[in-house]
């Protein structure tokens, strides 16, 4: 007689299982497309009815996700819904919901907890639940485990629980969902076995770990590594600038060393859904153990100070041209958090815009990927993207190059802008009177 675990693994390996994805955003939507592409029936669940309607119409609402792929997924049986009760139809339930910070820079677990609370009454025997949201070590055991067991199903025997952190890199053409190795930590060895069976259908390489806590810590280490090194190079940028040295030239030169050095480049601050946020999940949890994570918190302070540094450089440049920031017209180039995407989460460009506005500057923006400034929880601008032409550039006292989209015409910008504050190292060796490195 086969066990519940064996029957579930058989359904996954034969691709007869129904994959349920809760949260159809930058993580959940590409995952849906991958499972649909390889023959699984996928059910998507999201609280945003407008998002659900678009997907059911075969349309994408994310710039780098091809709408034709969504339409083909619909033809293969993909369906989106706002009805959480339908989770009972799924054999695998993958949670891809946000884990932001609150105003005190503490973990906001409300999206995860509210989602699990909405699902738990509809869970059944023979399902696997996988949390992909970035979080602190212990979340799966402390928050998910007791909730999913409330109905009397034993995790590891009747129901299976894993943590498998997302590793999406929106807009990166070198990697896709299939080619990014997948970490899987199970609450029990049986949970891990089912988790590996779930993901090895869709991902080229699955890396099993000993526990959900180890998997949660792995995701944090990946992004803390980046945050600390970006903080280091941002501090080096300030030192190099004071010494009259181009930090981009220095990083490029150091990168020629074939061992022991990984190049990180400075910028106007950290953006995105991971690097500015994830380190603080660990600093918060470490306090429970009486530990003070000094490296992490120091890098966070440095990176959070970069928008002010950029605005200081803008003020210096305007002063050289006989202008005060108050009353000056400033155009910010690029408000997405990284190049070639429309993702605005935690974008340092928005903080720069707010500081310019608060100090009396007349701020506008140009971004080919963000035609209208979106509705955001903490940032409010009633603006549309300014067309980038020689005539419009001439109308502004300064432009701040904050996000280096490939679609910008950098030679045209250089030829017609009165003053350029370059935070991305685009204009190497440029006229110091017109280009301010920041």
Query: Out of 274, 315, 352, 400, which one is annotated catalytic?
Result: 274
Q: Answer whether 338's CB lies under 8 Å from 274's CB.
A: no
Rounded Cα–Cα distance for residues 5 and 9 (Å)? 6
Do 251 and 233 touch, CB atoms closer than 8 A? yes
Q: Is 326 in contact with 359 (CB distance < 8 Å)? A: yes
Q: Write out the DSSP string of 184-204.
A: EEESSHHHHHHHHHHHHTT-S
111 Ramachandran zone, left/alpha/beta (phi>0; psi -120 to 50): alpha
* Gap between the Cα atoms of 233 and 263, Å rounded: 9
How many Å apart are CA 31 and CA 178, to the nearest integer?
Answer: 9
Separation of alpha carbons 368 and 282, rounded Å: 36
274 is catalytic: yes
Give alpha helix (H) positions in 44-86: 49-56, 67-75
Q: Distance between CA atoms of 141 and 419, rounded to whole angstroms?
A: 54
140 close to 214: Cβ distance less than 8 angstroms: no
**CA 159 to centroid of chain Cα atoms:** 30
Q: Which residues are catalytic?
A: 274
């Amino acid at each position: 007689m086969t066990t519940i675990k064996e029957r579930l693994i058989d359904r996954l390996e034969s691709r007869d299982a129904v994959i349920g994805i809760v949260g159809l955003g930058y993580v959940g939507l590409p995952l849906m497309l991958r499972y649909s592409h390889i023959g699984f029936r996928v059910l998507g669940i999201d609280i945003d009815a407008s998002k659900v309607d678009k997907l059911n119409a075969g349309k994408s609402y994310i710039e780098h996700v091809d709408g034709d792929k969504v339409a083909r997924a619909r033809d293969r049986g993909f369906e989106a819904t706002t009805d959480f009760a339908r989770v009972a139809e799924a054999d695998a339930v993958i949670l891809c919901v946000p884990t932001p910070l609150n105003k005190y820079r503490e973990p906001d677990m409300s999206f995860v907890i509210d989602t699990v609370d909405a699902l738990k009454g509809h869970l059944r025997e023979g399902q696997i639940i996988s949390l992909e949201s970035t979080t602190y070590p212990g979340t799966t055991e402390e928050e998910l485990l007791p909730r999913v067991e409330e109905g009397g199903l034993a995790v590891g025997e009747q129901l299976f629980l894993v943590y498998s952190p997302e590793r999406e890199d929106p807009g990166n053409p070198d990697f896709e969902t299939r080619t990014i190795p997948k970490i899987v930590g199970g609450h029990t060895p049986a949970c891990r076995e089912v988790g590996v069976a779930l993901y090895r259908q869709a991902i080229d390489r699955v890396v099993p770990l000993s526990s959900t806590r180890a998997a949660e810590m792995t995701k944090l280490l990946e992004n803390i590594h980046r945050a600390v090194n970006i903080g280091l190079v941002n501090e080096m940028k300030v030192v190099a600038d004071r010494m009259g040295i181009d930090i981009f030239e220095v990083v490029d030169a150091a990168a020629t060393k074939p061992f022991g050095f990984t190049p990180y480049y400075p910028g106007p601050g950290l953006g995105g859904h991971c690097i500015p946020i994830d380190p603080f999940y660990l600093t918060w949890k470490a306090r429970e153990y009486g530990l003070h994570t000094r490296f992490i918190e120091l890098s966070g302070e440095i990176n959070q100070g970069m928008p002010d540094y950029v605005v200081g450089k803008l003020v210096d440049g305007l002063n050289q041209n006989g202008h005060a920031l108050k009353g000056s017209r400033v155009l910010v180039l690029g408000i997405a958090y990284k190049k070639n995407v429309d993702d605005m989460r935690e974008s340092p460009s928005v903080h720069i815009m707010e500081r310019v506005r608060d100090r009396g500057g007349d701020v506008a923006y140009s971004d080919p990927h963000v035609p209208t400034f979106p509705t955001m929880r903490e940032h409010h601008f009633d603006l549309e993207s300014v067309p980038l032409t020689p005539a419009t550039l001439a109308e502004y006292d300064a432009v701040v190059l904050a996000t280096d989209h490939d679609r910008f015409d950098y030679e045209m910008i250089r030829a017609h802008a009165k003053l350029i504050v370059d935070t991305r190292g685009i204009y190497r060796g440029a006229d110091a009177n017109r280009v301010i490195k920041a």
